[in-house]
Amino acid sequence: MAPLTVLNEEEALLQSSVRQFAREQIAPRVRAMDESATFDPKIQKGLFELGLMGVEVPEEYGGAGGTFFQSVLCVEEIAAVDPAVAVMVDVQNTLVVNALLRFGSDAQQAKWLPKLNENVVGAYALSEAGSGSDAFGLAMTAKAEGSEYVLDGRKLWISSAHEAGLFLVFATVDSAAGYKGITCFLVPRECEGLKIGKKEDKMGIRASSTAEVVLNGVRVHKSAVVGEVGKGYKIAIETLNEGRIAIGGQMVGLARGAYQHALAYAKQRRQFGKPIAEFQGVQFQLAEMAMKLEGARLMVYNAARLREAGKSFVTEAAMAKLYASTVAEEIASQAVEIFGGIGFTKDSPVEKYYRDVKIGRIYEGTSNMQRITIAKGILS
């Protein structure tokens, strides 16, 4: 089924090239990466070579000068083959690069955007043991000493931590000031005192490394502050609002991948002398899957277009993430059922989608947090 949403020529060309890369380069490595819980360096190199790690990086810094919508499109296409790989592309573009483009100084952009476009993976270090949904309950401190800040604390559940060469670290310069003390810092991996801690053994998206990041007396120059001191909360809120659209895109891609596998299997799997796709019960399942998938895609694309047009999008972004993650979970589950017994084994292509999908309702804002945002939006 062709998407109803019309793409312009440039978007359609990008979609085609990313889809080809995902099918030819990522697909053959999906199972091995999942079983070993490692990210294949060849895939990482390919993402950079294709320009997928700096979609919006301006041409003056070596990038393609693409759009936010194109970033979301790339995440969707990769997620249709492997949602774990899509995580790295998502974090790089909609959180790290986006934060630098919107809040970074000219010097910070000139130094880091070319590297992020060429070969440096970025990570977004906000979460801590005591700050999940309460994102601003940070314990990590940043103490001013002369021309430097000294960072101390631990970050948890940091995506791409093992591959990252640059961390956007959120810490408080004044705990008494609450969220108004939160500040964002650029911290290179090679900084003395920065260590990658425990790597989580996850149920899904296993190729995407998720690990603890420990900062013990890490010193950075005051020029490493992104935006203004005490305004890190603004960077976090605004980038996460936008990042949720891309998570919606990831869920749409995941759902599409599971649906397409289920559709193909239903056409070739025979029972009682005919393909199971000829049974009305299966047809109804596939019809529901197709309808919900298209609805989720339209919501995600609409939120992305609104953001790109400079219009209000926060409510729509929350709706898109909540609906897309809910629909993706339903579609992945239905896909397993259509495959029957083999769907419950690792020999089926849909078992992994089912494990991968659950995180969509948790990271970058749980489903209940999205409901809160939606309620505020419609009642204001």
Q: How far is residue 287 from each of residues 14, 132, 279, 330, measured CA to CA in Å?
A: 28, 37, 12, 13
Q: Burial of 367 by CB count in 10 Å (0-12 exposed, 13-18 middle, 19+ buried)? A: middle
User: Which DSSP string do the residues of 43-107 spell out, in sequence order?
Assistant: HHHHHHHTTTT-TT--GGGTS----HHHHHHHHHHHHTT-HHHHHHHHIIIIIIIHHHHHH--HH
Look up 364 and say whether it is catalytic. Answer: yes
What does the DSSP 8-state code read for residue 309?
Answer: T
Contact 235, 227 (CB under 8 A): yes
Cα–Cα distance for residue pair 165/189, rounded to 1 Å: 5
Q: Residue 158 — φ and ψ, nearest 5°?
A: -90, 115
Q: Which residues lie across from 122 on neighbouring strands? A: 166
What does the block give as tokens for 243?
A: 């990042």
Q: How far apart are CA 293 and CA 331, in angstroms?
A: 8
Measured CA to CA, the distance from residue 127 to residue 376 in angstroms comes to 24
Contact 211, 204 (CB under 8 A): no
Chain centroid offset of residue 56 CA? 15
Structure tokens at 295: 């609805």
Structure token digits, residue 157: 């559940």
Q: Which of 128, 212, 316, 364 is catalytic?
A: 364
For helices 232-268 and 83-90, the axis angle rounded to 10 degrees is 160
Catalytic center residues: 364
